[in-house]
């Protein structure tokens, strides 16, 4: 079964007991965390080298960075697909949507 995670500002639930919800929440946190911004865990998150690049280049770079980060920091999933949604209110803003399957 596959699940979809969209980068955004969803609420974080501490001590989540449901495995699926916990995994999906972790992926959402990875997507919105800039590498180097977590004290004592500086390698966590996305390097965000794709920022301020032309959209076609940014998409390609972001796909590679997202896939690597999700598979590194959430080993319970396999990344199936990564796509992007454009923000209607802010042209040029890409919102990543990651489709994953949870490993048994």
**Domain residues of the chain, as ranges?**
2-102
Q: Are 87 and 7 in contact (CB under 8 A)?
A: no
The DSSP string of 35-65 is TT-STT-TT-SB--TTTTS-HHHHHHHHHHH
Identify the band that residue 87 occupies on the pLDDT scale cut at 50, 70 and 90.
Answer: confident
Q: Are 1 and 19 in contact (CB under 8 A)?
A: no
pTM: 0.90
Fold (topology level) of 2-102: Nuclear Transport Factor 2; Chain: A, (3.10.450)
- 43-64 pLDDT tens trace: 999 999 998 899 999 999 999 9
Average pLDDT over the chain reads 92
């Amino acid at each position: 079964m596959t699940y979809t995670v969209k980068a955004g500002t969803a609420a974080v639930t501490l001590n989540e007991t449901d495995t699926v919800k916990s995994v999906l929440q972790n992926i959402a946190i990875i997507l919105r965390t800039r590498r180097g911004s977590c004290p004592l865990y500086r390698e966590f998150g996305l390097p965000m080298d794709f920022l301020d690049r032309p959209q076609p280049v940014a998409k390609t770079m972001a796909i590679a960075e997202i896939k690597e980060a999700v598979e590194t920091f959430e080993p319970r999933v396999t990344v199936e697909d990564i796509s992007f949604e454009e923000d209607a209110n802010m042209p040029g803003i890409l919102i990543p949507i990651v489709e994953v399957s949870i490993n048994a």
